[in-house]
Amino acid sequence: MPGVFEVDVFAPIGLIVDDILLLTEWSLKDEWESRIGYLPLK
């Protein structure tokens, strides 16, 4: 089952995009499998 990310609707879009790029660069392929993540990262 794939993972899910919940995004704060009041967060600036640039911050969300930066966090997604960070996650794609530094996360392992299956690290977010069956997990829930929250953006922006804190």
Q: Provide DSSP, 1-42.
A: ---EEEE-TTS-HHHHHHHHHHHHHHS-TTTTTT-EEEES--
> Whole-number mean pLDDT of the chain?
93
pLDDT for 27: 93
| Residue 3 token pair | 């993972």
pLDDT for 42: 81
What are the pLDDT digits (tens) for 1-25?
689 999 999 999 999 999 999 999 9
Please indicate, yes or no, whether the overall pTM of this predicted structure exceeds 0.75: yes
Tell me the mean pLDDT in the region 16-41. Answer: 94
pLDDT at 29 over 90: no
